[in-house]
Structure 1
C-alpha cells in the first residue's frame, strides 16, 4: 500500500518539471515531499522532520511559518494584494523603498521578481546609463572566475559555472573574467589578504587595457555561493571600488545571497566600508515567503534617465513589479531585524558553536574549514563521483537537509536556529565523516 509521501512523489514527477534538476535522477533519488514547515523544521506527509540547513535555497531567514510575517501578510491581504506599478503606487512599496535607501545609501529602488531579474536590471541600467551619457562604446561587463549571477541569458553571460552556462554559450554575450579572490586558491604561505590583492592586480590589468569599453564589474561580495561558498578578504572589494572609480567603470554588488545579514553585517559590502554603484537584492528580502528582488543605484545614475525623451527612460518591467504582498513581507523582515537585534544575536549564535565547528574542522578528511556570519563550509577530501547525492540522502535520513556543492558541504540555516540545533547538525556531519562517506 502506497504512503502519502509516495502519492505526492508520483504526482510531482508526473506534473512538475523541477528546477536545477536532471529529472531522470529521481528514478533513484526520490523527490522530498514537504507538507508543512515550522521554524527551522520541515515535515513530510508522514510526519518525518528534517532541519532546513540550507534555508530553502538560502531564502528563509526567520523560520518557516513565522508568526510575524504571517500576520503582516494576513493584514495586507485585507487591504491590497497588488496593483500595477506603472503610473500607480502603494504604501508597502514606498515604505520598503525608503527603508532600503536608508540601509544601503542608494536610492530609487527598481523591483523585479528574483535574483536573475535583479542582475538583468543592473546590467541593463549600467549599459543604458553610459549610452545616455553619450558613451555608447562602454558595453562590456566583467565578472569573477567561478561567479554565479543567475540563469537568464544576461545573467548567464556574467556567470562562470559551466554546468549552467556551457549549453547556452551560443546565446550568451561575450564578457570578461578576472581572477577570483577565493582564498582557497592562494599559494602556500600566502595570506587571504595578499591573495585578494593579487587578484585585484589582475582586474587592474584588464582595466588598463580595456576600461574605455567596459560598463561594469559585477561581484558577489565576500562569498561566491555557487562556487562552493568561496570566501575572500574584503581588501578585494576596497581595491575593486578604487579601480572602478579610477577607470570609470560601474561596480555592481550582487548581494542577492549574501545580503540581509548572511555574512554578519546587513550587507556584505559594509565589511569593506564601500558603497557600490548598484546593489542587487533578493532571496532573504521577504524572509523566504514571496518572490521579490530590488536594484538600488546612485542619484547620478537615476538622473541620467530623467528626461523628456521616453527612450532615455528605463523601460524594463514585469506585471508584478513591486507587488504589495511581497513588499509587506519584506517590511516585516526589516522590522524583525530591528526589533530583535538580529545581527547581534547571529554573532552570539556563531560564537556559541565556534568550539563545536572547530572540532568538526579538525577531522582529517576536512579541507578549508571556514565560517562567515551564518555560513559554515568545508571540503571533503577524496570525494568520489556522486558525493553530493550520497551526503544529501544520508543526512536527510538523519533529519538534516544539506545540498553539497560538489565536494563542498555547507550550512546556511535560518537565523532562528539555536546553538543546540547547530550542534545537532554538526554531529550529523561528524558522523558522516567518521563513516568515511565519500
Structure 2
C-alpha cells in the first residue's frame, strides 16, 4: 500500500503543466529512484524516502546506493586509505633510493677504475725513471692510490650497489602491486578488519624483505646457501571442521582442475625454481671470486710499487705494480660493470616468485572446504597469466607432466 502511495505522489508531482523550481527538482529525483521491493524495506523506510522527496534532499545517485548489509565500516575504509598512503610513500622512497644506489654503482666503478689505471701508469713511469726524488714521488703516489682503490673496492664489494638497486626496484614493483590490491579490495567489495590486517602484514613483510637502511639491516650479499626471496607474510593455517568432506564441483573447483594445478606445482618446483636457484649458486660463486680477487690485486700492486727500485726484487716489483693494477681494473669492470650482484638478486627474486605460486596453489588445494577457497576459474586464470600461458596451454603443461613424470624438461613459465 505504501508503495502505491509513493507512486501516486510521484505521478501527481510530475503532472503539473507549469511546475515550480522545487517541483522540477522533485521530478528529477523521482526519475533516478531505484525500485524497492516491500521485502527489502519496511513501511517506515518508505515514509523516510517520501520525506526526503518532499524536502528535495533526495540524493541523485541513489541507483548506486548499497544496501545496509554491504556498506563498509567507515573506520575500516579509513585504515585502508591510510595503508594506501603509506604504500604509495614507500613506492616513491624505493624508487628514489634505487636510482641513488644505481648511481653509486656507476660512480664508484668509474672512480675506482680511474684511480687504478692512473696508479698503474705512474708505476710504469716510475720504473723508467732514474733513481732520485722523481722516482720516490711517483712510487709514493702510486702506492697511496692503490691503497685508496683497495679500500673503496672492499666497501663496494661489501654493499654491492648493483644488487641494492635491484632490491629497491623489486620492492617498488611489489609495493605498487600491493597498492593496486588495496584499491581493488575497496572497489569491489565490503572490506573488513581482516582485510586491513592482511594488508598490514603484507606491508611489514615487504619492509623486512627489502630493508632501506644499510647498517644493521642490509641483506646478506654472500649467503652460504641461496634461498628464494620471501616478501609475503606466512600464511595462517585455517581452522578446518573435522569430518568435513570435499565438495568437488563447488566454487569453480573440480577434480580435473585440482589434478592440473598439482602437476603445475610439480613442474614449477622441479624445473623453474630449481633452475633459478642453480643459476643463483653460480652467480654468487662468481661474485665471491671477483670480490676477493679485485682488492687482492690492487693490494699486491700497492706492495709492488712500494718495492720498486729495490735491487733485491728486480723487475718483479715493476710487473706486480703495473700488471696487478691493470688486472684489477678488468676484474672490477666484469664484476660491477656486468652487475653480477644484480644478476644474483634477479635469480633469487625469480625463485621467490615461483615459491609464492607454489604456496598459493597448495594453500588452496589443502583447504578442504571449497567454499572457502578462491574461486577455481578465477584462480586458474591468474595462474595462467602469471606463467604467460593461455588456459589451454596450462592444461597441456599438466598433461605433459602426467605423461613424462620427472623426466619433463618443459618449464612452467614462458615469461622468464
TM-score calculated relative to the size of structure 1: 0.21
Greater fraction of residues in helix: 2
TM-score calculated relative to the size of structure 2: 0.22
Greater fraction of residues in strand: 1
Higher-Rg structure is: 2
